[in-house]
Amino acid sequence: MATSNPYSWLTKSLDTIKKAHWYRQVKTIDSLPGSTININGKTLINFASNDYLGLAGDPRLQQAAISAIKKYGTGSTGSRLLTGDRPLHRELENAIASLKQTEDAIVFSSGYLANMGTIPALVGGKDLVLGDEYNHSSLKNGAKLSNATIIDYKHNNMTDLEQKLQENRSKYRRCLITTDTVFSMDGDICPLSELIELSQNYDCMVLVDEAHGTGVMGKNGAGVVEYANCTGKPLIQMGTLSKALGSLGGYIAGDKILIDYLRNRASTWIYTTGLSIPDTASALEAIKIIKNEPERRAKLWQNVAYLKEILKNFKLLPSESAIICLPLKSAEEALKVAEICQNEGILAPAIRPPTVPTSRIRFSVMATHDYEQIKMLEKIVNKIQ
Ligand SMILES: *Cc1c(COP(=O)(O)O)cnc(C)c1O
């Protein structure tokens, strides 16, 4: 009998991906995270990091993790509801609630898991999820897992959202509106006040994903909710510990009753091991630094302004954040420009479909970049004009 290979389709599928210039590979970084990093023995200026405040390599976060490990070990050994809970977890949750000015918070093992657990806990088969079309994968997949009806509205388009609410809201029991606050692959932000007003008119819950807002946006680094003067509004605020906080993990901040409910219903919190000890301790230290060192945020915004100045002859995508995108015609061209950058000692990734509808080079700015490092972008500007 001829043996067929049930895995042969994988090769074909990968070939298709390669032909479309959509193929991806990991780049191994062999150094501390920071404004410069080493890849394949070469030092590159890093415009590809989510570590906006430069905390992932900070000695204080390292020390916090080491001290916590010495006291509690490395793993948390079980679900938070069984043997996985440590005093550090609650300290971190209180610190997040204090930063966000909410009654309480709950930490998950990643931001992705926070969305994948929270959305299905809040809505089900009788309910509606209305999400921005550019939302992060974790919001989209969380909605799918919930069995709710999913309708996407046009990116940041509140007229379209209202129309979809008008047409559909009454057919469903509960409705949840979901949006990134800072759109991770574009750098623009959601019109939060308007969105909250609509949610109140149509009796909807709102989940905002502050992955790229926390630590960065707002006077105290509490995120776009603070930046847009929406502190205290009835929101479900999600975020991650793995971007500006330089650690790993995710959270939901909100009313006490919401958090208590999630501890009882969010399966990605109940049926997974509690956040690891070093991740918990370093995130807690990061929140202290975010509160005590506002000068880091000030430097970040100076750097963002300087980078925009250097790229002023290009038509950039609209951005109010530390993410600046240079749109390009094709995936091929984006890859070419990323290669030019890399040859000039600059790491800035090509972002391509299917992650985004149109290709671009994405620069993310750090507080720990100095002007000389940003000025290096002038060299590439001259080469691609
Ligand atoms: C990174 C990111 C997440 C996932 O967070 P992790 O902690 O990395 O799992 C969720 N939402 C958005 C918008 C993100 O950018």
Atom of ligand 1 nearest to the CA of 241: 7
Q: What percent of the chain has pLDDT over 90?
A: 93
pLDDT of residue 1: 64
Kindly give the number of the ligand 1 atom that is closest to the alpha carbon of 113. 9
Instruction: List Cβ neighbours of 305 (8 Å cut-off, separation of 6 or more).
Output: none
Stretch 103-112: mean pLDDT, rounded? Answer: 98
Give the whole-angstrom CA distance, residue 203 versus residue 219.
30
Q: Looking at ligand 1, which residue's alpha carbon is closest to its atom 14?
A: 211
Pocket of ligand 1 (CB under 6 A): 110-112, 136, 138, 180, 184, 209, 211-212, 240, 242, 250
Q: Which atom of ligand 1 is nearest to the CA of 248?
A: 7
Closest CA to 14 of 4, 3, 25, 5: 25
Kindly indicate the confidence band of residue 258, based on its pLDDT and cuts at 50, 70 and 90: very high
- Which of 108, 243, 276, when mutated, tests ligand 1's pocket best, judged by the most ligand atoms within 8 Å of its CB? 243
Annotated active-site residue in 89, 164, 212, 299: 212
Ligand 1 pocket test target in 138, 140, 238 with most atoms within 8 Å of CB: 138
- pLDDT score of 245 more than 70: yes
Over residues 35-77, the pLDDT tens digits come to 999 998 999 999 999 999 999 999 999 999 999 999 999 999 9
Atom 7 of ligand 1: nearest residue by CA position: 111
| Whether 35 is catalytic | no
Question: What is the predicted pLDDT for the residue at 292?
Answer: 97
Mean of the per-residue pLDDT values for the chain?
96
| Residue that the structure tokens 């230290």 belong to | 285
Residue with CA at minimum distance from ligand 1 atom 6: 111
Instruction: Write the DSSP assignment of 311-329 as a string of letters.
Output: TTTS-PPP-SSSEEEEE-S
Cα of 243 vs centre of ligand 1, distance in Å, is 8
Spacing, Cα 6 to ligand 1 middle (Å): 34
Mean pLDDT over 136-147 rounds to 98
Confidence of residue 171 (pLDDT cuts 50, 70, 90): very high
Position 268 scores a pLDDT of 98
* Ligand 1 atom nearest residue 183's Cα: 13
Mean pLDDT confidence for 314-319: 94
Which residue owns the Cα nearest ligand 1 atom 2?
Answer: 211
**Cα gap 215→233, rounded to integer Å:** 19
DSSP bridge partners of 324: 363
Structure tokens belonging to residue 150: 């999913």
Per-residue pLDDT of 178-237, as tens digits, reads 999 999 999 999 999 999 999 999 999 999 999 999 999 999 999 999 999 999 999 999
Is 184 a known active-site residue? yes
Cα distances (angstroms) measured from residue 371 to each of 45, 55, 305, 338, 367: 12, 19, 11, 21, 11
Nearest CA to ligand 1 atom 5: 111
pLDDT of residue 381: 79
Task: Count how many Cα atoms sit within 13 Å of the Cα of residue 277 in the half-sphere of its side chain.
Answer: 20
Is residue 357 reached through a cis peptide bond, with omega within 30 degrees of 0 on the bond before it? no
Ligand 1 center to residue 213 CA distance, Å?
Answer: 11
Find, among 108, 45, 99, the residue nearest to 286 by Cα.
99
CA 162–ligand 1 middle distance (angstroms): 27
136 has pLDDT over 70: yes
Domain 59-292 classification at class level: alpha beta
Q: Which of 100, 243, 299, 369 is catalytic?
A: 243
Question: For residues 172 and 127, is the Cβ–Cβ distance under 8 A?
Answer: yes
Q: Write the class of the CATH domain 26-57+293-384.
A: alpha beta
Ligand 1 centroid distance, CA of 252 (Å) = 12
Given a contact cutoff of 8 angstroms between Cβ atoms, the answer to whether 209 and 238 are in contact is: yes
Ligand 1: centre distance to CA 111 (Å): 5
Say yes or no to pLDDT of 132 above 80: yes
Q: Spot the catalytic one: 109, 184, 199, 247.
A: 184
Measured N-to-C along each axis, helices 277-292 and 87-100 cross at an angle, to the nearest 10 degrees, of 30
- Phi, psi (rounded to 5 degrees) for 79: -60, 150
Domain coordinates of the chain in residue numbers? 26-57+293-384, 59-292
What is the structure's pLDDT at 2? 67
Structure tokens, 183: 């759109």
CB neighbour list of residue 4: distance below 8 Å, 6 or more residues apart:
none
- Is residue 170 flagged as an active site residue? no
Enumerate the H helices of the chain as residue ranges.
9-19, 59-72, 87-100, 111-122, 137-146, 158-168, 192-201, 224-227, 256-265, 267-270, 277-292, 294-310, 331-343, 371-375, 377-384
Which residues in 92-108 are b (16+ Cβ under 10 Å) and which e?
bbebbbebbebebbbbb
